[in-house]
Chains A and B, each alone.
Chain A
Amino acid sequence: MIEMNNRRILLVQFFFLMALSLISFLIGKSTTLSFLFYLIWLSGILLNLFFIKTYALPDYKILKKINAVSISNAPSWEEIEESLSQKEVEKLKQYENFEQENLKYKNLLDSMEDPVCIISKESMVFYANKSFLTVFQINEHSFPMPLLAITRHHEFQNFIESSIKVSQVSRLASFTFNQNQDPLKKYFDLKISPLINQNDYLCLLHDITERVMTDQIREDFVSNFSHEVRTPLTILNGQIQNLKANLEQEKSFSSSLIPIFYKIENNSKRLISLLNDLLQLSSIEFKKEINKEIVNLEEVIYFLIQDLALNYPQKNITISLELNKKEVYVEFSLFEQALINLIDNAFKYSNEIGSIKIKSYQFDNWDQIEITDSGIGIPEEQLHRIFERFFRVDSSRSFDIPGTGLGLSIVKHIIQKHNGKIKVQSRFNEGSTFILSLPSQSTSN
């Protein structure tokens, strides 16, 4: 099709020049010389056209061959032109879509309250959302930028680098950034996840400042409350004892008042132990990390039984120990408290004559301790509730056995802090077995 256009151009050019020379000939004087001049000009034009045809344009035959080879339904020049412009339009449209999509994600990320950034393996930040920019007070034109220059937090930098090295899906930790302009400390949980291309990582900081502050307020409240309550309780308790001691010396002191004083005294003591248990429970809850060490089970249990038995002189309890696992990996004071509560319960709920059996053994990766008593047992329908706060089995209330209902809840929290488990098996009027499972030292590491 190409040569057709060229020929047309040549033809148009020929006629145009002919017409131009004819007009100039007619306008000028028609002499023989000018006619000759006209002829020379004409032959010059023809020569020029011949030269163009021969040297400047592709060979007609070759073009014909090419045309013959080309596909019969090949698109026309106009069609090509059209398709080219369409592609451009499509490209433009795609670009527009892409821009829109980009904007959508950008808006989405910007609307997030949590700071987010994308970092490369070399810890260079090249994208961050609005919240990130606000927290670290930088503008978005400063990217790419090294993370350390943004956060100025070596620990945070090391944590990110180590997470990147192992290329794990996510990790969690808390960091505090104290910005110069912001006097309030901010606390963040950090999550790092590799993006699909594996070269970049999505770094999500979750603002937990509010949670940390609430915990702090709660902790302060408990500590202040404990101090404030202890003072009036000390005075109350002291004055009751004073009053009782003075009245007992009085002749007119009616013996019928003695039970009343006992009741006041007992309840004041009950209030004190309730306060102590509550404080203990909340201090375990607030404990952030535990310091584990190897503890000799035999020593701890031996001491505890000796000490706790003194509280129940009227009871005749046979104790048998079968400690196949001699050592456990725990925080001593917490673990000891859990054992005190369990062994004390075993004594407390045993009948006048009874037995307590303590076993320890290893089961898979768990160190297990079983404490079995021959006491009053727990009715099956109440078994699932015994670890709840303030829950006391009906029978223990009716037998008037003292207790706050927090002991087992404390045990449960202690075992949970050690990533362990606690189970109970019991038959009403036959006795109970509490089974503690603690991760053994090899798995704890």
Chain B
Amino acid sequence: MNTETVVIIEDEIEINELITDQITQMGHRCVSFLDGKKALDFIQSPECNHANLFILDRMLPSINGLEICKFIRLYKNSESIPVLMLTALSTPEQIVEGLDAGADDYMTKPFDHTVLKARVRSLLRRRQIKEKSSENTSQLQIKELLVDLDQCKAWIGDHLLELTLSEYKILCCFMLSPGKVLTRNQLVEYIQDGPVHVTDRTIDTHIFGLRKKLGDYSSIIETIRGIGYRVIGHD
């Protein structure tokens, strides 16, 4: 397994140590920050080029996690690095706010170690897949589910799926970001085309249809209540 660099930005020293322990146990290198300002300096430094994942607390002194997350997404060196947001603010609205600010996944405090490790693994793997797929973007695959972006078609094994345009677009969106939590807002923006008004409920209906057509593969689309959906990657 490759040693990756994980940047931990968490003001609570004990939680910071706890996460550092877990990540180190996984065999990765950790860079820890206790406040937002220092973290921002790091993001702008050349060292940040080696970072593979950010674990970011939302409530930080001086600059809060949301602002840092937005900065990570805007700054060229860090825009493609996945962000896992840690938050004590657990309402769906607060979580959606974090994801819309650019976080790829979130965990609410208190969290389970095993879940933290799994999410870290998934996000690091996603980055690798993304790097690979940027070499060959025409085909995306999760197990036997294959999407050909050139042909605008999707298959499970040899069976061609008959999808509507919106269902196809949503499936592409999921396949391009395995492991990433996609909020309903993000999906609405992705499939919004022309004057047809797309609402959160329309997304649910498309996912309902898509899941039916995916059959045995329907379970790869995980519902995250009140927030959105996520495609479970290569586990």
Contact B90 A226 (CB under 8 A): yes
Write the nearest CB–CB distance from A227 to chain B, whole angstroms: 4
Contact B59 A294 (CB under 8 A): no
Contact A235 B18 (CB under 8 A): yes
Residue from the list A234, A294, A300, A303 in contact with B110, Cβ < 8 A: A234
Contact A231 B109 (CB under 8 A): yes
User: Mask for B53-70, Cβ within 8 A of A = 1, else 0?
Assistant: 000000100000000000
Within 243-257 of A, Cβ neighbours of B (below 8 Å) are at: 245
Supposing A303-B223, A307-B223 touch, asked if A235 and B14 sit within 8 A by C-beta, the answer is yes
Cα distance A235–B91 in the bound complex, in angstroms = 21
Contact A283 B91 (CB under 8 A): yes
Q: How large is the interface on B (under 10, 10 to 19, 20 to 34, 35 or more residues)?
A: 20 to 34
User: Mask for B192-204, Cβ within 8 A of A = 1, else 0?
Assistant: 0000000111001
Contact B201 A237 (CB under 8 A): no
Interface check B89, CB cutoff 8 A = yes
Cα distance A202–B59 in the bound complex, in angstroms = 49
Interface check A100, CB cutoff 8 A = no
Interface check A167, CB cutoff 8 A = no
Contact A293 B201 (CB under 8 A): yes
Write the nearest CB–CB distance from B228 to chain A, whole angstroms: 12
Instruction: Pick out which of these stretches binds chain B: A146-154, A192-200, A332-340, A397-405.
Output: A332-340
Within 62-112 of B, Cβ neighbours of A (below 8 Å) are at: 88-92, 108-112
User: Which residues on the B side are within 8 Å of A293 (C-beta)?
Assistant: 199, 201
Within 195-215 of B, Cβ neighbours of A (below 8 Å) are at: 199-201, 204-205, 208
Kindly count the residue-residue contacts between A and B in the assembled complex, taking CB atoms under 8 Å apart.
75
Cα distance A56–B180 in the bound complex, in angstroms = 118
Write the nearest CB–CB distance from B219 to chain A, whole angstroms: 8
Residue from the list A226, A235, A283 in contact with B15, Cβ < 8 A: A235
User: Which residues on the B side are within 8 Å of A279 (C-beta)?
Assistant: 90
Write the nearest CB–CB distance from B106 to chain A, whole angstroms: 14
User: Which residues on the A side are within 8 Å of B14 (C-beta)?
Assistant: 235
Contact B201 A234 (CB under 8 A): no
Contact A237 B208 (CB under 8 A): no
Cα distance A231–B60 in the bound complex, in angstroms = 13
Residue from the list A227, A306, A332, A337 in contact with B201, Cβ < 8 A: A332
Contact A340 B225 (CB under 8 A): yes
Minimum CB distance partner of A240 in chain B: B113
Interface check A299, CB cutoff 8 A = yes
Residue from the list B59, B113, B199, B204 in contact with A238, Cβ < 8 A: B113
In this complex, which of B112, B114, B200 has the most chain A Cβ atoms within 10 angstroms of its Cβ?
Answer: B112
9 extra interface residue pairs, beta carbon distance < 8 Å, beyond A235-B18, A272-B110, A294-B201: A227-B59, A234-B15, A234-B109, A238-B15, A238-B111, A299-B208, A336-B225, A337-B225, A340-B225
User: 17 interchain pairs (CB within 8 A)?
Assistant: A226-B90, A231-B15, A234-B12, A234-B110, A235-B12, A236-B110, A238-B18, A238-B110, A238-B113, A242-B18, A272-B110, A283-B91, A299-B204, A300-B204, A306-B218, A332-B200, A333-B226
A residues adjacent to B (C-beta < 8 A): 226-227, 230-231, 233-239, 241-242, 245, 272, 276, 279, 283, 293-296, 299-300, 302-303, 306-307, 332-333, 336-337, 340
